Structure 1
């Protein structure tokens, strides 16, 4: 018997309800609390910009030492890590994806190597992150090896609890988020286009730059969105690998929430969300992501 399909709005209702309940409602609550006030004992429902003013207090002038205010320094530090991790993961992710897509001929071998890349992600992020500590510590394996072969006289201090260790952990944790979308885009490239470029005399670098990179742009943008959004809000990696000595926006929000300063933490979260959405909006202007999805 012929059955009439349910209206489109009715089919979308369950997913829309889940999206509203677990995404829109929490965001609305965070936005609402960011305009509240608080004291040592309770939250005080109100509509005030006090928390936003407190965040940027003193940022209109230079600090006593001639530097920027704490908030701007923190955001600059977060953007610094974000930029470094994005550049490194983009280079590594593109190289790995290019090798898998164009230099591995067998589809079975491609699958096997791709699964091999995902094996580290079968364990917890915390375990993979902490595994660097015995390697990079003052008495760790790396320092013992460097001292043993005579490259250094004393253990290298900046290998752990430094910007280097934070970036290294970020790259280790999130490179796969760059590999997957770029590899997916490269596998969709028509191989006849590469052959055509070779037939008209294009070198390997010219083919890479003028054919493969433009056609992989959607995957690059999607991977960039994944990496940037995760790094911008991460506070566990910076806390552990930075020895609780390196500031980031996510770390500040976590500390404020732990001290029950929820309106202040919510205001910081709203500002961070706005900045991340602006970055995502700028990236999505470069390509039509819907074609990839």
Structure 2
């Protein structure tokens, strides 16, 4: 027989999370969706129902190029983060035997995150600028006779800054996955004569896949919504959907900004769902 008081307590327990979910996520997205169908007369937003904002996104070469550019940056940053994070996580998990030193070295990786993103972005300017340390070193070594322009206010600077900002979001889940791998599997493979490459290919990489997928979701979703890094590190030469939305909000074009936000959200969710179809991350949750 059901106990009404017990059922009531269950509802009270889930009520706080439900309210936070509704008012912190569902309601704001619903408001953005409604505003995306409004009209903008050049001065103010007018409540209405029009598909003009969405039609403009899918028919404008500028918008389509901006979305393609955003996806390109997300793919490049994701790829570089995987290349850097996998060896770091592998070294921490398999070559550092002491749990104490694993913790210490992992905390060292988090030190840059003790400062704000803006400070970390600005800190690259003295290194990448025309008179920065990199150009001065190259000129001192006579590798070039003039400053190289691509280091700052370029796509290279944007990718470098984003990798710096988000690489830890890839290292942490991969490291967590590798720590859960049974070391007896690796020992058995070594006893059977498997090479280091075969162990990586058949044991460590497949069992680390859920961590890579989780890190990929973090990195891709963060890069897809970036605007500050794009503005500061590209010098206005490159654009992203996040930067586009920010400019539309600054110019009070709320319906167009809301429509772009909805399309960006759907696009990001499609990418995440595609990752989830490839790798099952439930083992890591």
Equivalent residues in 2 for 1:31-70 (5 A)? 31-58=33-60, 69-70=61-62
Any stretches of 5+ residues in structure 1 without a counterpart? 59-68
**How far apart are 1:28 and its partner, in Å?**
0.3
The whole-number CA distance in structure 1 between the counterparts of 2:22 and 2:89 is 36
Matched with 1:13 is: 15
The equivalent position to 2:223 in structure 1, one of 231, 234, 237, is 231
Aligned counterpart, 2:278: 286
Distance 2:104 2:240 in 1: 38
Q: Name structure 2 gaps, 5 residues minimum.
A: none
Deviations 1:99-123 (A, max 9, x none): 0000001111101100000001100
Which residue in the other structure is 2:77 paired with?
Answer: 85
- Whole-angstrom distance in 1 between the partners of 2:43 and 2:136: 51
Does structure 1 conserve the Cα–Cα contact (< 8 Å) formed by 2:161 and 2:233? yes
Q: Counterpart in 1 of 2:268?
A: 276
Counterpart mapping for 1:1-293 below 5 A: 7-58=9-60, 69-293=61-285
**SS state of the match for residue 89, structure 1?**
helix
**Partners of 2:253 and 2:10 in 1: CA distance:** 43
> CA offset at residue 248 of structure 1?
0.9
Kindly provide the CA deviation profile for residues 110-151 of structure 1, in whole angstroms up to 9, marking residues without a partner as x.
011000000011000110111001111001111111111111
Alpha carbons 2:44, 2:252 under 8 Å: kept: no
For 1:45 and 1:73, the matched residues in 2 are separated by 29
Helix, strand or coil at the partner of 2:43: coil
Which moves more between the two structures, 32-41 or 220-229? Answer: 32-41
> Which deviations, in whole Å up to 9, do the C-alpha atoms of 1:61-116 show, x marking residues without a partner?
xxxxxxxx112211111111111100010111111000000000111110110000
Rounded Cα–Cα distance in structure 1 between residues aligned with 2:7 and 2:270: 39
Q: Larger % of helix: which?
A: 2
Shift of residue 6 of structure 1?
A: 5.5
Counterparts of 1:6 and 1:149, CA distance in 2: 74
Normalised by the length of structure 2, the TM-score is 0.96
Secondary structure of the structure 1 residue equivalent to 2:59: coil
SS in 1 for 2:181: coil
Residue deviations 1:240-285, cap 9 Å, x none? Answer: 0000111111111110110000000000110010000001111112
Q: Give the distance between the partners of 2:10 and 2:174, measured in 1 at CA.
A: 33
* RMSD (Å) for aligned C-alpha atoms: 1.3
The two structures have a TM-score, normalised by structure 1, of: 0.93
Distance in 1, matches of 2:160 and 2:37, equals 37
* Stretch moving more, 22-31 or 10-19: 10-19
Looking at structure 2, the residues matched to 142 and 22 of structure 1 have their Cα atoms a distance apart, in angstroms, of: 44
- Give, in angstroms, the shift of residue 236 of structure 1: 0.4
State the 1:30 CA deviation.
0.4
